[in-house]
Homo-oligomer: A and B are copies of this chain.
Amino acid sequence: MSDDPQLVRKFQRELNAGTVSLVLLAILGHAAEPMYGYQIAKQLEAVEDGSGMFKQGTLYPVLRNMAAAGLLESEVEPSITGPPRRYYRITPRGREVLAAWRRAWDTTRDLVDALLT
């Protein structure tokens, strides 16, 4: 059974591939103000409760990809305490995609849960 952890890690990676973008877009969809990467990571960490699902390093490429796809806008601002920060906000297009992704997530989740019981 020594390679079971590997199969579980692979499964978790596959689950994350879809869900990390959804979760990031949802956080920025709720945010009252633009957020920078570290802020988002901290908010995720508070919710995930040590499960380590979202590694900080994996968030940045996802944010950049979503910005490239027009779902987010970003702006660099100087910081008093360190290097400049890139702030992200959701675009109107991002809100439309978020709504569609939520529907896809709800359907898939319900289907998987129905088949698991």
Q: Which residues in A have some Cβ–Cβ distance to B below 8 Å?
A: 1, 4, 7-8, 11-12, 14-19, 21-23, 26-27, 44, 47-48, 51, 53, 69, 71, 93, 96-97, 100-102, 104-105, 107-109, 111-116
Residues of B within 8 A of A17 (CB): 14, 17-18
| 11 pairs from A and B in contact (CB 8 Å cutoff) | A1-B96, A4-B93, A8-B100, A8-B101, A14-B18, A14-B21, A17-B17, A22-B116, A47-B111, A47-B114, A53-B108
Copies of this chain present: 2
Residues of B within 8 A of A113 (CB): 109
CB-CB nearest in chain B for A5: B100
